[in-house]
Amino acid sequence: MTTTNNTKALIESVKETLTQDGDLLRNIIQQVLQEMLEAEMDQVLGASKSERSDKRLGYRS
């Protein structure tokens, strides 16, 4: 029962936060997508942003 009550309280808290700040969800999604794109680019190029590597497959600005 306590877990269910805690979960419900957490859900209500998140809903309240999202309704108060409409840009919050947009910012979270933007940050997650940016991290995903950065990770994908690191994998494709073989090096992180500003990292020097002899095996690098391309360049990033």
Alpha-carbon distance of 2 to 55, in angstroms, equals 54
Using CA atoms of 36, 60, 45, 50 in order, give the dihedral in degrees to the nearest 10: -90
pLDDT at residue 20, as a whole number: 77
pLDDT at residue 34, as a whole number: 92
Q: What is the pLDDT of residues 1-59, one digit of tens each?
A: 566 778 888 888 888 877 777 777 788 888 999 999 988 988 887 777 767 666 665 66
Among 51, 35, 36, residue whose Cα is nearest residue 60: 51
pLDDT at residue 9, as a whole number: 84
Long-range contacts of 13-22 (CB under 8 A, 24+ apart): none
Question: Domain-by-domain residue ranges, the chain?
Answer: 2-45
pLDDT at residue 36, as a whole number: 92
Contact 49, 42 (CB under 8 A): yes
Alpha-carbon distance of 49 to 36, in angstroms, equals 14
